[in-house]
Amino acid sequence: MDEMAPKLPPELVLRMLELLPPDMETLRQTCLVSKQWLWMSQPYLFCHICLDAPRESSHSRSPCSLLYGLLCRSPHITQYIQHLTVLSDPIGPVVPLSKIWWFSSDKSFPALLNLVCSSKVQSFRIDLGRLQKLPVDVESSIRALINLPSMRDVDLTGLMSLDPAILNNCRSLKRLKLSDISEVGRKDSANNDACLATLDSLTIVGVYGAVDLISWLITTPTLRALRDLRLHLKPYLNLSPVGDLLCQVSRTLQSLHLELSHTLLVWPTPTGTNFLSISNSLPALTSLRLSIGIFNSSTVLWVIFLLSNLGYSRLENLTIDLLTYHNHGIVDSLPWAELDSMLNEPPLAHLHSLVLTVFPNIGRRALDSGKSKELVWWLEAELPRLLPRTFARDTFAAHELDCPPSQFFLWPGPLNWRDLEEF
């Protein structure tokens, strides 16, 4: 049948493939049409490989070992792999806890990574779900993978420890995300050989030792193309390296997202010595997002302090995320008048977009959760009184989102982030 079937123009086949639903089963069925469709479908079938925990089935071999065997038999398929995602937790039905650490016991996993190193893979994401220490052979394979000349996007989540030297040979990296990492090994500046001249976007969230990591980054002489920076910080620590980092990338930084931890009952008074001391302005900054929790009056003071010290001159989009707690008295006593005045003085008076996003504090008890949501609704209704000049602006918008603070780094807001979580 295949020999007798008329061959379609390749351009038409490609166009038809683009119009099909992007699910694996649909694409798999196209391989049964003809050899021509099989050959042209492979780039779509193997463009993005996602490996997660094995499921209970009749197969004696794991999905990882099956894929490894396929690539060994048909090495040409490797050239089609552009994105590789590795997940510790399963997608779909729950599996036994013992299978969550599948990559530590599956001997084909490091071998598979070594095979992928011969491809032109552009993005690599590994999410271990829980803090875990990688086997030596797996860590070595990951190091080789992220240092590929074709690598553009790296996302490391859930590692027990991270040695920044793993980035020493990244020559083409454009986006780096580090999250939920328990420990960062300190590196002396003399040992910092990283080449991050192409790094365009950097996200650091939930990293214990973030200051050590930032201190290492500012000793990288080639860090000069950064345009998008997102940091989750604890303001009670000595975070002067953050100011040094902002000064180092001030000429190129266009988008900045700062989330300040809201775990303390009493927040420190914001000063340049315990957080930022920026001598130079941020002339290229056009989008700024501040994610702050409301617990006492110092939280809004932090917003005012940051807006006073970041030194922007071309800011177009500003988002302020406020996490509310169930205390009307505290919220009502915040220095709203001072914030309202600042938001309506140059240069903030000429913003293209000004968004206030209110998040409820979802506590462990249902009662706390209900009170927080009621406070959000109350605060939204009171905005015309609390921020009268700001509320009257045509460019102002207020939103209420029923999601936890962990979603701050996933919600795009007005910044039009083009690299949201898609995997």
* 400 has pLDDT over 90: no
3-state secondary structure of 129: strand
Nearest to 79 by CA among 45, 106, 111, 109: 45
Catalogue all structural domains in the chain, each as residue range(s) with its CATH number: 62-76+100-222 (3.80.10), 227-417 (no CATH)
Residue 396, classed as helix, strand or coil, is strand
At 55, list the tokens: 């499921």
Would you say 283 and 320 are in contact if contact means Cβ atoms under 8 Å apart? Answer: no
Kindly report the backbone phi and psi dihedral angles of residue 6, in degrees, each rounded to the nearest multiple of 5, phi listed first: -70, 140
Highest mean pLDDT, choosing among 60-69, 175-184, 286-295, 404-413: 175-184
The pLDDT of residue 122 is 94
Of 32-41, 49-58, 383-392, 400-409, the poorest mean pLDDT is in 400-409
% the chain with pLDDT above 90: 15
Question: Nearest-5° angle of CA 285, CA 289, CA 292?
Answer: 140
pLDDT in tens, 13-38: 777 767 766 555 665 676 666 666 66
Q: What type of residue sits at position 57? A: S
Q: Whole-angstrom Cα distance, residue 343 to residue 167?
A: 40
Beta strands 255-260 and 228-233: pairing type?
A: parallel
The pLDDT value recorded for residue 133 is 75
Judge contact between 41 and 31, C-beta under 8 A. Answer: yes
Phi-psi category of residue 209: left, alpha or beta, with phi > 0 → left and psi -120 to 50 → alpha: left
Give percent of the chain above pLDDT 70.
Answer: 66
What integer pLDDT is reported at residue 161 of this predicted model? Answer: 83
The reported pLDDT for the residue numbered 197 is 82
Give the length of the chain.
423
The C-alpha angle with vertex 202 and arms to 196 and 206, in degrees rounded to 5, equals 130
Give the strands of the sheet with 353-360, arranged side by side.
Answer: 48-51, 83-87, 123-132, 153-159, 175-181, 201-207, 228-233, 255-260, 287-293, 317-324, 353-360, 396-400
Cis check: omega of the bond before 347, within 30 degrees of 0: yes
What is the pLDDT at residue 408?
43
Per residue in 38-54, pLDDT tens?
A: 677 778 778 888 887 66
* DSSP calls for 8-56: PPHHHHHHHHHHS-SSHHHHHHHTTT-HHHHHHHHHHHSSEEEE-PPPS
